[in-house]
Structure 1
Amino acid sequence: MTSWSEDELRAIAISDDLHISPLRDDGVTYGTPTWIWSVAVDGDLYVRAYNGQASRWYQAALRQRRGRISAAGTTRDVSFEPVVGPVNDRIDGAYSAKYRSSPYLESMKRGQARSATVKVSPNA
């Protein structure tokens, strides 16, 4: 996997327009774009499924491990990786900073959504 450029990650991190499209089960066709919150932590991009692990896009992302995102005027093919462990605390902090005025913030930092955290990495 490659890393995000600083400029690209910064643009995505400040935008509020990320759409995620994991590959469908055929491994070729991209799924319907789903608008989702995203944050950057320690040079990496993270997303969470509001509806937790039952979310269709989350299940497809983990099954296929590949897809596409569109954000900040850029479309990139990406890889998905589930996230567990202490980095989730820093992700919570990033969500709090970016979405502090949203009534949905606390739900994004709790068990259901937190358990469905995904690292998004650009493909080469």
Structure 2
Amino acid sequence: MSGWTDEELERIGHARVVHVAPRRPDGALGNRVTVQAVAADGAVYIRSVHGPGASWFRTLREAGEGHIQAGGVSRDVVVEPAVDPGLDLDSAYRETYGGGRPLRAITGPLAVRATLKITPS
């Protein structure tokens, strides 16, 4: 599996609009959703503000692969639960998106439990 380039991480990390779509069993892409993403520690991370029960989150997690589009980057990706407890994604979200209600939602306990790591396939 090849990793992200520094340029891709920067472009995705600064994109305000990030789209992800799961790969269906027939190989086609499913419905894409708009998410808030951050780049940290050589990977891209996304969260569901509605927690792990959100249908798009469950579908993408179960598919294990999909596609991301952000900041002019378009890549097929592998999706896995983020499990590094030492990684401070809240700071990355704060730096990328500023403060206010959206930040509180994306850094809240429900969203933290619904964090996915996205890497190129």
TM-score normalised to the size of structure 1?
0.90
Q: Partner residue of 2:116?
A: 118
| Distance in 2 of aligned mates of 1:41 and 1:6 | 11
Amino acid corresponding to residue 14 of structure 1 in structure 2:
H
- 8 A contact 1:84–1:115 mirrored in 2: no
Q: CA deviation at 1:57?
A: 1.7
Q: Partner residue of 2:5?
A: 5
Q: Structure 2: state its 5+ residue gaps.
A: none
Amino acid corresponding to residue 76 of structure 1 in structure 2:
R
TM-score normalised to the size of structure 2?
0.92
Moved over 3 A (4+): none
Q: Partner residue of 1:65?
A: 64
- 8 A contact 2:18–2:68 mirrored in 1: yes
Q: Structure 1: state its 5+ residue gaps.
A: none
Over the matched positions of the two proteins, sequence identity in percent amounts to 31
Q: Partner residue of 2:81?
A: 82
Amino acid corresponding to residue 64 of structure 1 in structure 2:
A
